[in-house]
Homo-oligomer: A and B are copies of this chain.
Amino acid sequence: MTAHVHYELLHTCKQSGARLGRVTTPHGSFETPVFMPVGTKGTVKTMTPEELMALGSEIILGNTYHLYLRPGEGIVGEAGGLHRFMNWPRSILTDSGGFQVFSLKAINKPSEDGVIFRSHIDGSKHLFTPEKSMAIQQTLGSDIVMAFDECTVWPIDKTGARQSLEKTARWLERCVNAWDHDKPQALFGIVQGSTYADLREESARLTTSFDLPGYGIGGLSVGEPAALMNDMLEALMPHMPSHKPRYLMGVGSPDYIADGVLRGVDMFDCVLPTRIARNGRVMTSEGDVTIRNAVYKRDFTPLDPACSCYVCQHYSRAYIRHLLSVDEILGLRLTTWHNLHYLMQLMQSIREAIRNDRFGSFHAEFMALLAEQARSRR
C-alpha cells in the first residue's frame, strides 16, 4: 500500500532516547513530539483555524462519533471534506468513534460484528463496525484515520483484556480490507492490552504485523496510576517499529506528555487544555490556576507572568475572572487560547530539549517542578 503519511526520525536524544521526528501528510508536515488540539464537532472549541495556526498547531483531531451524528458525515463530504467544511488547511486526524461508543456503557452492545449504541442526543439506535468507521472517516477526508478498536476500561481482568486485544486485531484486519488504498489518507492501527505487559507485547506484534504508516496506543490514561501507564509504555516500545510514529491516545496533561515522550511517544491529543479552560482553570509556569476564585478579583497581573501569549500580553487575571463570572464568551476564548499556547510551548520546549540531547534533564526538572507546585498547593 502507498503510504500517504510519512514519518522521519530526525534525532534520538542521546541523554534519554526520546525521539524528535517529522510527520508529513497530504496537508503539511509537523515535528514530533506533537500535541493535537481536539476539534470534537468540527471546531476546536472557541478558536478559529487562524488562531490555532498562530499558536503553531499543525494538526488537529476530529471526532468521528460526533461528526457522524451531527451534522452527519454526508454533509461534511458534500462540503468537500472536513478540511474545507471547517476551514482548516493543515492536517487532521480522526478517531474511529470506538472510544465514544464504548464510553456509552449503559446503551452499547458490543458483538463480533461491531457495536450497537444509542445516540446521546436523541436515543436513536446506530451500528458502528470497522467497515462503517472506515467509510465515515474516508468521507470526512482526514489525513490520518484510526482503526476501529475495542478500548478496555481499567481495571479489567486478563481474560477480558486478551479478548479485547484479539478482537481489536481482527477488527484491524477488517479495517485494512475495507480501506480504500487510493484515498490520500493513512490508516493507523491501535495497540491494546490494558495494563498487562505481555498482552501489550502481544498486541504490538499483532498490530504491527500490518505494515501501517503509524500506530496508536489505546487503553491507557483511563484511570490507572501514572507509574502503571509508564510501565506499559516501557514494555511496549521495544516492539514498536522505530520508523513509524507512535500516538498515545487521549493523553494531554503536561506530566503524562513528558512521561510519554521519555518513553518514545510521538503524538498526543486530549480535550484537557480546552476543557479545563472553559471551567476557568489555566495552566501556568507556576502550576494550574483556578482563575474563577475570588482571590483574583483584584489581581491585575497576567494569567502567567512568564507567558508571552496574546492573552498574557493584554489581559489581567481580574478581567478574565470578571468575564467568566458574567458568562462572557470572550473569557472562554482567552483561557482556551492561553492553555493551548501553554501546551504548544511545552511541546516546543520538549522538541528543543531532544534536539539538544538534554531531554533527560528536562524531564527530571519538569517533573520536580510539578511535584514542588503540587506540594506548595497542599
Hey, which bits of chain A sit against chain B, CB under 8 A? 41-43, 45-48, 66, 70-71, 75, 78-80, 85-87, 297-298, 300, 314-316, 318-319, 321-323, 325-326, 328-330, 332-333
Contact = CB atoms under 8 A, between A and B. Distances in A.
A297 B328 contact: no
Contacts of A71: 297, 318, 321-322, 325
B70 A328 contact: no
B300 A79 contact: yes
Contacts of A47: 330
6 contacts: A42-B322, A45-B329, A75-B297, A79-B319, A85-B319, A87-B314
A326 B43 CA distance: 11
A316 B79 contact: yes
Nearest to A48: B330
Contacts of A66: 326
A317 to B, nearest CB: 11
Contact of A42 (B86, B87, B319): B319
Nearest to A328: B43
A332 B47 CA distance: 11
Contact of A298 (B78, B87, B318, B330): B78
Contacts of A319: 42, 79, 85-87
A319 B84 CA distance: 10
A330 B75 contact: no
Nearest to A337: B48
A248 to B, nearest CB: 27
Q: Which interface residue of A43, A45, A300 has the most chain B CB atoms within 10 A?
A: A43
Given A42-B328, A87-B314, 19 more contacts: A41-B322, A41-B323, A41-B326, A43-B330, A45-B329, A45-B330, A48-B330, A71-B297, A71-B318, A71-B325, A75-B318, A79-B300, A79-B316, A80-B300, A85-B319, A86-B319, A87-B315, A87-B319, A329-B329
A297 B80 CA distance: 14
A78 B333 CA distance: 24
A124 B349 CA distance: 50
A303 to B, nearest CB: 13
Minimum-distance CB pairs A-B, first 10 = A71-B322, A87-B314, A43-B330, A46-B329, A41-B326, A43-B328, A70-B326, A85-B319, A329-B329, A79-B300
